[in-house]
């Protein structure tokens, strides 16, 4: 059984911040990522939480991420904001752009934020969630190093490329939050199984010849299985157009891996849209969403995307999170070395 230790969200944020700064990140770059890490753990998405802090630290130290980066914001059109992440952490660049994005969407009804020269943004739904909290319908895309082969092929050309939709609710929480990758499962889950020496379920990944495998290491050398076959490839291509091509970021086929130390900065991208529902719906938005959500809630056993994370968030904010002790040991070793 995996040994765990319960930490409060404040403690998770604190040790994340300390480790990142010891590794060489400025407080301005480390703080948004530390806050996101605590929020991710609160949502129960452990694969993208503290487990990633040693990787982030390694990437600062090897130069895959510039821990001292200074993102640059521009507003080329009234409804368009761009941020050059300057090969730093995506979170600082997103934070820089979000206030302008929300202001522009309030003024115009709809606005877009494009981020390039970026990096892994963690859980995409964490970011769209914040747009919904601001009363906006938030739509987000982020591309990743190639790991999904095209339909009929075996060589990866697009990443797991998630998209996320967050819809504002009446209680400060999203009425629904969709956050899904183009693959059957997030690549980080396959990496987690590889680290732990555990087999993966068939259908998660393919070998170099395009055949199903239950060996995570074989899958990591091959490709991720797209969700829904060719439909998953379509989602990955959609995201690649939005987060890479439209953002002026690096395509997944040219991006260095988010894992390991080889290849330099990945320079991938993110793309967000914020839509003020009051500008488009004639005042019917809240009513329509309540009707839609109500139709789902009326069915026994049915759930809405985001329900699981919301339930865990409410519990974990009070009770804290059970964290893998081996992960904590790695992080504390980084802090101690500083």
Catalytic residues: 47-48, 189
Q: What order of strands is seen across the sheet that includes strand 137-142?
A: 72-77, 80-84, 110-118, 268-275, 137-142, 163-168, 174-180
Q: Is 59 helix (H, G, I), strand (E, B) or coil?
A: helix
Closest CA to 90 of 33, 49, 52: 33
SS (H, E, C) 225-255: CECCCHHHHHHHHHHHHHHHHCCCCCCCCCC
CA–CA distance, 158 with 141 (Å, rounded to integer): 13
CA–CA distance, 237 with 146 (Å, rounded to integer): 11
CA–CA distance, 129 with 306 (Å, rounded to integer): 10
């Amino acid at each position: 059984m995996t040994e765990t230790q319960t930490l409060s969200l404040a403690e998770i944020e604190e040790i994340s911040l300390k480790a990142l700064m010891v590794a060489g990140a400025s407080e301005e770059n480390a703080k948004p990522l530390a806050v996101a890490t605590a929020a991710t753990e609160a949502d129960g998405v452990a694969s993208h939480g503290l487990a990633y802090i040693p990787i982030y630290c390694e990437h600062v130290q090897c130069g895959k991420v510039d821990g001292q980066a200074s993102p640059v914001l521009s507003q080329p059109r009234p409804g368009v904001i761009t941020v050059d992440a300057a090969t730093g952490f995506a979170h600082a660049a997103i934070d820089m752009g979000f206030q302008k994005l929300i202001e522009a969407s309030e003024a115009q009804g709809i606005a877009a934020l494009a981020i390039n020269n970026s990096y892994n943004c963690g859980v995409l739904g964490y970011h769209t969630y914040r747009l919904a909290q601001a009363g906006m319908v938030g739509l987000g895309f982020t591309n990743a190093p190639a790991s999904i082969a095209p339909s009929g092929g075996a060589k990866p050309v697009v990443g797991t490329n998630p998209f996320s939709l967050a819809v504002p609710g009446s209680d400060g929480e999203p009425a629904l939050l969709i956050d899904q990758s183009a693959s059957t499962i997030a690549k980080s889950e396959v990496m987690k199984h590889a680290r732990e020496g555990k087999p993966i379920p068939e259908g998660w990944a393919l070998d170099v010849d395009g055949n199903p495998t239950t060996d995570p290491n074989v899958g990591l050398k091959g490709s991720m299985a797209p969700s829904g076959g060719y439909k998953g490839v379509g989602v990955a291509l959609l995201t690649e157009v939005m987060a890479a091509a439209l953002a002026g970021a690096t395509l997944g086929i040219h991006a260095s891996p988010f894992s390991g130390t080889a290849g330099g900065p990945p320079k991938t991208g993110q793309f967000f849209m914020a839509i003020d529902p009051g500008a488009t719906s004639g005042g019917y938005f809240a009513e329509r969403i309540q009707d839609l959500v109500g139709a789902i809630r009326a069915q026994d056993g049915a759930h809405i995307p985001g329900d699981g994370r919301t339930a865990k968030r409410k519990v974990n904010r009070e009770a804290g999170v059970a964290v893998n002790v081996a992960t904590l040991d790695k992080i504390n070793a980084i802090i101690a070395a500083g």
